[in-house]
Structure 1
Amino acid sequence: MNDDRPEPSDDTTATAAAAGTPTAPGNGADGTREDGGPPRPAPASQPAEPLVLEHRVLKSLLGAWALAACAPEETAAVEEHLGDCGACADEALRLRDAVGLLQRPENLDLNPGLRTRVLESCLKRRPPRIPVPDWAAAYDAETARLDALLQDFGDTEWHAPVRLRWYEADEATTRRTTVAGVIAHLLTVDGLVAVALGLDDPLGGLPAERPTPSARTEAYWSASPSPPTRSVRTPWRAQTHDLVRTVSFTGSRAGRMAVSYGDFELPLHDAMLDRAFECWVHAEDIAEAVDYPYDPPTGRHLHRMVDLAARMLPSVLEARRRSGPDAPGGRRLVAAGAPGRSLRLEIEGSGGGEWLIPLDSPAARGSAEHEVAHIALDGSEFCRLAAGHVPPREAAAGQVGDKEAISEVLLAAASLSRM
């Protein structure tokens, strides 16, 4: 079949090349040789000329180099110089080590306040039909934080040794267990709240010598055919969810329900704060055992925990005096509601505030006019004192006033601790 189309002229070819239209091979427009041979090699790019800097300039750049703040050309010049100059190489190594000391190790955990902020933001947009009571929010948050810490633990971490610490008869006491053993301990003591709410007792039918936290824990540990394993996480977490759900459904009217700890009772709203406090303390024990950072609770929750301990101190002081350790001769009793000798407890930092602790009677009223002593502590430090993790005589950052009163209150705070 004949093709009557005209042959392209040289002008047509040139126009197509100028417009970027592909042209047939052999015409030189695509870089090939006009005789159909291989393409001509592209001209080689010339390497960038290295910077040539004086020694004093290179030495002045060492600090920026250690901080990785040099331009690429300067970095290359400095590193080439370090291979030839021993004095600068030593200085560069010293600066790089110093930079490493200035950088704080990253904590891979989310900020403990992030969960609260996210929930508050969500709840503002869509309020819950059944909200968690304020007095149970700290327990909800701390159990969630501990569960997040546990979720990636392997068998080795679950069997890592943990030493529980508390004060008994004004003496530091310890008990050795494992990470799994700590979770079993939290499970059995949280069970006291579960029983008060009519939920299942995690001990089942296991007999405990006494209905106290330590006796219940020992009964659980003794009944296990082998040391607790990671399997204890599931019933512990299920129970925490059940507790939060149940107190949410019962609402604020259940807050004054009594929860028995064997030797004493707490109203439910204080018992939930107590359980949040112990969950955080033992989470720190676990994190320390596996060498992992763990932050204190949010300021709002920490303040509630400090407030609970401060409110318990007058009764603890009275119990200690009755049992003998702190019974001063001729102590003046104060009528219920009347002002009496007081110690000002100042908590600094997150969760901070001030509390006037009546010294002469748990029914007395704290009074600034009758203040005889002043103690200042960090919020986390005070909680660790109340947990038996800090020696009482080393706890207070600042002390002014009656030394005997200060000693009484610090020892009473430490005696709040238990296994």
Structure 2
Amino acid sequence: MNGPAPGNGPHLGGGSELPCVPQPRVTLENGDAPTGPVRSSVGPLPSFDHQTLRSLLGAFALGACSRDEGLAIEVHLTDCAACADEALRLSDAVGLLHPEDSLDLDPLLRARVLENCLGRRPARIPVPEWAAPYDAETARLDAFLADLNEPEWHEPVRLSWWKGERILTLCGVLSHLGSVDGLVAASLGLDDPLGPGSPRTMLDRTNSAAERCRAHRSSLVRDSWRTQTRDIVRTLSFAGSGTGGLPVDYADFVLPMRDALVDRAFECWIHAQDIANALDYPEYGPPSARHLNKMVDLAARMLPSALAARRRAGLTSSPVRLVAAGTPGRSLHLHIEGNGGGHWDISLDSPGALASRDNAIASIALDSVDFCHLAAGHIEPERVAVGQEGDTSAIRDVLFATASLSRL
């Protein structure tokens, strides 16, 4: 293809003249015309031969050329049809490349790899099924903490629950988790992280742990917490599933070990989200569906007792009907949608009454994550998105009882 005659347009090669780079079109506003010629602010371009420019077309399509190379190629493409066709072909090929992915690992990758490995060859000493959520959530939080810099460990983190909140540093939040996990460790005969004669209530233990963490490096606090979580899982695994009935005394209430581990996994996830929100970190997702289902199930099983406690305090609005333990009573049907969802019948009259859908006077439907956030006190009962049918006072009592499960 013949280019323009010398002096009549841009050309590349060994000539003495350099190409002129066209300037953006001038916009005429209010009828004003430009008063003079528009001068280029771009300096002289280096000279490239045809073969060099053609070899740069791939980099040009990927946007990887330098400024001078890019401008030279743009000028060359107006004169060379073969290179223009090649540039168009390469541009189309770039669109077929895989989109850019985040360098962050999928938080559920570990769980999937372990599940696949254990499916092929079961563990010689398996982790009890009810301890698996705790094992997964502590590992997930530890992986998240590995990406943090020292200044971030001293950022304030807002911990909120229904009708309460507290501000701790990130290091303080991890100390809080470790101090409450210490009650589980003590039930297994392991050392209490706060030492002999330590406080028993969760509030007092948190105060003591937060005070202590100020005197230690963040790396030591993290290592101590992680070592304790591994020791708990290892001890439970060697002891076997028979430890599921061991009582864990939280001072204000007692849970069997199988429920305490699910409860600790739930708190680990919720506080990990609190940390991520405080650091403006990308969304910290929910647990796997199987583990989320265990957390929903625990909250649903605790609702009858929470309802009874609120009724004794005069905080319920639905009519009271006393029934003997083991006999049918009124119930509410709870439908949890999404990952980890399912169906539960909640006894309204007494924790010991039998609940069934045949005696349901109301039903509600919530998303699984919304239900967990309600149980954590992160959503107000009046603001949660819920589908409902039936006795509105019973529905209100159940939603408020769910929020009352939350604590520091």
Tell me by how many angstroms 1:340 deviates.
Answer: 1.5
Q: CA deviation at 1:212?
A: 1.9
> Contact (CA 8 Å) 2:318, 2:394: kept in 1 or not?
no
CA distance in 2, matches of 1:158, 1:201: 24
Select which of 248, 251, 258 maps to 1:269. 258
Letter in 2 for 1:132: V
Assess if the C-alpha contact under 8 Å between 1:260 and 1:266 holds in 2.
yes
Say if 1:207 and 1:257 are closer, same or farther in 2 by CA, change over 3 A: closer
1:146 and 2:141 are equivalent in the alignment: yes
Q: 1:327 deviation in Å?
A: 6.5
Q: Indicate the residue corresponding to 1:133 in structure 2.
A: 128
- SS of equivalent to 1:301: helix
CA distance in 2, matches of 1:311, 1:352: 14
TM-score (norm 2): 0.74
Supply the distance in 1 between the matched residues of 2:212 and 2:257 (Cα, whole angstroms): 29
Mapped to 2, the partners of 1:203 and 1:228 lie a distance apart of 16
Q: Which moved more, 1:221-230 or 1:245-254?
A: 221-230
Residue 119 of structure 1, CA deviation: 0.7
2:355 to 366, 381, 399: 366
Distance change (3 Å), C-alpha of 1:149 and 1:338:
same
Q: Which runs of 5+ in 2 are unaligned?
A: 1-48, 55-61, 64-69, 76-98
Task: Tell me which residue corresponds to 1:199.
Answer: 190
Cα distance, 1:47 vs. partner?
10
Letter in 2 for 1:352: G
User: Secondary structure of 2:357's partner?
Assistant: strand
Residues 1:381 and 2:370 are matched in the alignment = yes
Q: Name the CA shift for 1:372/1:177 in 2 (closer, same or farther; >3 Å).
A: same
Structure 1: how far apart are the matches of 2:242 and 2:378? 35
Matching of residues 325-404 of structure 1 within 5 Å: 325-326=315-316, 331-404=320-393
SS of 1:175's partner is strand
Greater displacement, 276-285 / 360-369: 360-369
Aligned to 1:200, the other structure's residue is in SS state coil
Letter paired with 2:126: P
| Residue matched to 1:41 | none
Aligned residue number for residue 24 of structure 2:
none
CA distance in 2, matches of 1:281, 1:261: 19
Give the alignment of 1:12-411 within 5 angstroms: 45=50, 108-167=103-162, 171=163, 173-205=164-196, 207-208=198-199, 211-223=200-212, 226=215, 229-293=218-282, 294-326=284-316, 331-411=320-400
- The Cα of 1:299 is off from its aligned counterpart by 0.4
1:155 is displaced (CA, Å) by: 1.4
- Structure 1 unpaired stretches of 5+: 1-43, 50-66, 69-74, 81-103
SS in 1 for 2:356: strand
1:107: how far off?
A: 5.7
CA distance 1:160–1:206, change in 2 (3 Å): farther
Contact 1:138 1:273 in 2 (8 A): yes
Change (3 A) 1:112 1:303: farther
RMSD across aligned positions (CA): 2.9
TM-score (ref. length: structure 1): 0.72
Inter-CA distance 371–204: structure 2 relative to 1 (3 Å threshold): same
1:108 Cα deviation (Å)?
Answer: 4.8
Do the aligned residues in 2 keep the contact of 1:375 with 1:396 (CA within 8 Å)?
A: no
Give the aligned residue type for 1:178.
T
Matched with 1:416 is: 405
Distance 1:166 1:364, change over 3 A: same
**What do residues 337-384 of structure 1 show as CA deviations (whole Å, max 9, x unaligned)?**
222211111111111111111101111121212211111111111111
2: CA distance between counterparts of 1:367 and 1:392? 24
- Distance in 1 between residues matched to 2:395 and 2:275, nearest whole Å: 32
Larger Rg: 1
CA, structure 1 residues 112+201, in 2 after alignment: closer, same or farther (shift >3 Å)?
Answer: same
Letter paired with 1:185: H
Q: Which amino acid aligns with 2:399?
A: L
How far apart are the structure 2 equivalents of 1:333 and 1:145? 45
Residue 225 of structure 1 and its aligned partner are, at CA, apart by 5.3
